[in-house]
Every structure is written in C-alpha cells, then in structure tokens.
Amino acid sequence: MIRIRIQRGIPIPRRVGRGRNGNREPKYPWSQMQIGDSFLFPEEIGRSAHSSAYKASRGGKKFAVWKTDSGYRCWRVE
C-alpha cells in the first residue's frame, strides 16, 4: 500500500500564463502597452510570437511582429 503524507502550510506557487484569473500574471505586457511601445519576445518563442500577437489583437488593440537581428519584436500599432 502506498502511504501519502499530508502537508500543511505550503503556499501555492503563482502561475504565469494567459488568462484573466486573478491568480495569474499575464505572460506578455499587452494591456500595459501604448501605441509605439515594443518588446522583444524570448528567443525560444520564435515563430509563435505572431500567433500570440494575433490573439492579443482581438481585444481592440493592434500589434505587429517583425523578425529583427535581435529576434522577434512586437509593436503596438493601434
């Protein structure tokens, strides 16, 4: 028989990712960006940067992603 030990007082780690749940922090700064602001996507994101920006654009704001010498960069354009 497997014995499982119950533990108390261990905090739940903060989740990082998309979602509007109060317990999550946004992965990217979409809501904080003003027109003309930009950020560089992490290198491992690569081509999925376009998909992330497209999904964020559904909220009425518009974003553009371009591949630069430094990697994929996203600008808020509207």
Whether residue 9 lies inside any domain: the answer is no
How many structural domains comprise the chain? Answer: 1
What is the C-alpha to C-alpha distance for residues 50 and 41, in angstroms, rounded to an integer? 10
**Predicted confidence band at 16 (pLDDT cuts at 50, 70, 90)?**
low
**pLDDT greater than 80 at residue 59:** no
Whether residue 43 lies inside any domain: the answer is yes
Quote the pLDDT of residue 78. 92
Whether residue 26 lies inside any domain: the answer is no
pTM strictly above 0.75: no
Whether residue 25 lies inside any domain: the answer is no
Whether residue 72 lies inside any domain: the answer is yes
Q: Which residues of 35-53 are buried (b: 16+ CB within 10 A; e: fewer)?
A: eeeeeebeeebeeebbebb
Whether residue 77 lies inside any domain: the answer is yes
pLDDT tens, 38-55?
Answer: 998 877 776 688 888 888
**Predicted confidence band at 35 (pLDDT cuts at 50, 70, 90)?**
very high
Whether residue 1 lies inside any domain: the answer is no
Quote the pLDDT of residue 41. 84
